Structure 1
Amino acid sequence: MSLDTRLRSSLSLTAEHPARYALAAGRIFLGWIFLWAFLDKLFGIKKGTESGWLSGTSPSKGFLSHNDGPFKEVFHSMAGQVWVDALFMFGLGGLGVALLLGICLRLAALGGTILMFMLWVASLWPDTNPFMDMHWIYAALLIAIALADAGTTLGLGRPWARLVRNSALLR
């Protein structure tokens, strides 16, 4: 019996189970959060940015260059670098699309958790708690969504799984 089968049977997340819809809703909500951040940073919609990446503004420079945490030197040196901007934007856009469509959730959980960890480290220490903040909540939700195969409910997870059946990471 595969790990997926054992996990699904232990969680009892059948197609009719209400938890599947709660996880699917969480997947869609989180997907929109990431996609909106991507669109705002790309076009400069002025909901969180002054101007967009397409206008020549670095999506990472403002956040990383004003960091005062224990790793500020590292993040200040990364601020505005083309490779950092490209990875950040690819991460935001890829996470948003994958979560909204319910595809490639394992890779999204892995990449999203790494992104959340990096953002958490860059913003140390959280304002309201010495350890916990939204980055860990998002990472936990990403992992739960992938483990529960939440893309099969209200998403394209089933046809995607057939398409990439030979790659466990792309499921």
Structure 2
Amino acid sequence: MATMTAMAERHTGPATTAIPTEQRAENVGQRAARYVWAGVRIALGWTFLWAFLDKTFGLGHETESKSAWINGGSPTEGFLNFGAAGPFKGFYNSIAGSGWADWLFMIGLAAIAVALLLGIGLRVAAVAGGLLFVMMWSVVLPPENNIFMDDHLINAAVLAGLALTAAGDTAGLGRVWARLPIVRRLPWLR
């Protein structure tokens, strides 16, 4: 048997082993997972961008033109004044419509949207977006359809998953971003 292997190697080169089917399927699965995470990243980025655009320009979906931020409306006043319920109602009512709250909210929406859509700075975007989602969750407690769980908490977890899987590297600029000198020096910017 050893002689046959040696003879085969002389004619065809060293014996190679085939990649097991399970391992090949796992590689295909990993590639598919990267694209699923990239799709989720882009979809979530769009939700942040849409919220920013609608509140800024009053595109008529959730925000009427007369209530748009560029027309003097407040992106935080309505929801925090009239939608707040539960143990934090007083806190949210007190900051509703404040200039600093409006600016922080809108800058947050825009920055998180850009980071997710481009696939850059996902760690920072995950922390900022997660904090924003948890705050939005805490405005209305208990949530309408469950005793504690709702889409805000799930989306906060999804943001963490996006950052942990480097979802910006697929269909995004994550790899390019990671090579920037400042990002190399400060890896938390990745």
Determine if the TM-score, normalized by the shorter chain, exceeds 0.5.
yes
RCO (CA 8 Å, sep 6+): is it higher in 1 or 2? 1
**1:120·1:135 contact (CA, 8 Å) conserved in 2?**
yes
- Give % identity: 54
Instruction: Please list every run of 5 or more consecutive structure 1 residues that lacks an aligned counterpart in the other structure.
Output: 1-11
SS at match of 2:187: coil
Letter in 2 for 1:128: N
Of 71, 74, 77, the match for 1:61 = 77
Letter in 1 for 2:115: A
**1:23·1:145 contact (CA, 8 Å) conserved in 2?**
yes
Q: Between Structure 1 and Structure 2, which shows a larger proportion of helix residues?
A: 2
Match of 1:111 in 2: 128
Alignment of 1:160-171 (within 5 A): 160-163=177-180, 164-171=183-190
**1:13·1:19 contact (CA, 8 Å) conserved in 2?**
no
Letter in 1 for 2:76: S
Match of 2:106 in 1: 89
> TM-score with structure 2 length normalisation?
0.81
Match of 1:125 in 2: 142
Higher alpha-carbon Rg = 2
Alignment of 1:25-104 (within 5 A): 25-50=39-64, 51-66=67-82, 67-104=84-121
How big is the alpha-carbon RMSD for the aligned residues of Structure 1 and Structure 2? 1.6
> TM-score with structure 1 length normalisation?
0.89
Instruction: Please list every run of 5 or more consecutive structure 2 residues that lacks an aligned counterpart in the other structure.
Output: 1-25
Cα deviation, 1:48-105, whole Å, max 9, x if unaligned, reads: 1122111110000000001122211110000000110011101111111100000000
Letter in 2 for 1:52: A
